[in-house]
Amino acid sequence: MPHVILLGDSIFDNAAYVRGGPDVIAQLQDILPTGWTGTLAAMDGATTDDMPIQYRRIPEDATHLVLSIGGNDALMNIDILDRRASSVAEVLNLLADMRDRFESAYREVVAELRGRGLPLVVCTIYNGNFPDAAMQRTAQTALAMFNDAILRVGIESALPIIDLRLVCADPGDYANPIEPSVQGGAKMARAIVRVLTGEAPDAVVFAG
């Protein structure tokens, strides 16, 4: 029996933000094909450093893994936006250092999960829904550095990639600036099912 495991952070573990509505795992379980099941191993607030806890939560009968991690790694580096810099080059170097640290940690996570010999799908970090337009623009620019790393690792590993920036592109997809709503969760669940069942277009990056 196919058994899908969701790993990562509150992009999947969003029960605390949907005000009693169905969370991502509930919506996924509702639309998985007959005979499939899904389990939530993701943990709200998790970063790449916390993934070993989730490795131990993967059941022995798991058949498919879906990973969405990195948003909290980005939040931990948000102070970089307030640092003083003497040039654009200095800013770009700071961002590149941040990206390189994340990419190294992300590669370790992907290598660990691939080592289990199960099909693995990875997801980019969505852009969020910040009420201030300037903050939204800044966040998107900074997150692009993290998503560049995710895409590079995923493509190098020939993994299916769900680009959540395109899946969750409507304000209604968010319960707050950074957490998915019921609507956003439903979109992600549909995207996951389409990729896992082969209904998605034959492309590495699945947009929704």
Q: What is the pLDDT of residues 136-160, one digit of tens each?
A: 998 898 899 999 999 999 999 999 9
Question: Are the beta carbons of 142 and 136 closer than 8 angstroms?
Answer: no
Choose among 18, 68, 21, 70: nearest CA to 41.
68
What is the percent of the chain where pLDDT is above 70?
88
Q: Would the pTM count as exceeding 0.85?
A: yes
pLDDT tens by residue, 72-113? 998 887 666 555 656 767 666 677 778 889 999 999 999 999
Query: Residue 146: its pLDDT value, please?
Result: 95
Residue 28 has pLDDT above 70, yes or no: yes
pLDDT digit string, tens, across residues 161-189: 999 999 999 999 999 999 999 999 999 99
Distant-in-sequence, close-in-space partners of 168: CB < 8 Å, separation ≥ 6: 126, 127, 174, 180, 184, 187, 188
Per-residue confidence (pLDDT) for residue 99, from 0 to 100: 84
206 close to 196: Cβ distance less than 8 angstroms: no
Q: Which one has a higher pLDDT value, 134 or 193?
A: 193
- Quick one: average pLDDT of 43-68? 97
Residue 88: partners with Cβ closer than 8 Å, 6 or more residues away: none
Give Cα separations from 44 to 39, 55, 73, 79, 93 (angstroms): 15, 15, 12, 21, 30
Q: What is the mean pLDDT of the chain?
A: 91
Q: How many domains does the chain have?
A: 1
Average pLDDT over residues 30-39: 98
CATH number at residue 179: 3.40.50.1110
Which tokens in the block code for residue 32?
């998985």
What is the distance between the alpha carbons of residues 139 and 162, in angstroms, rounded to a whole number? 20
Boundaries of domain holding 138? 3-206
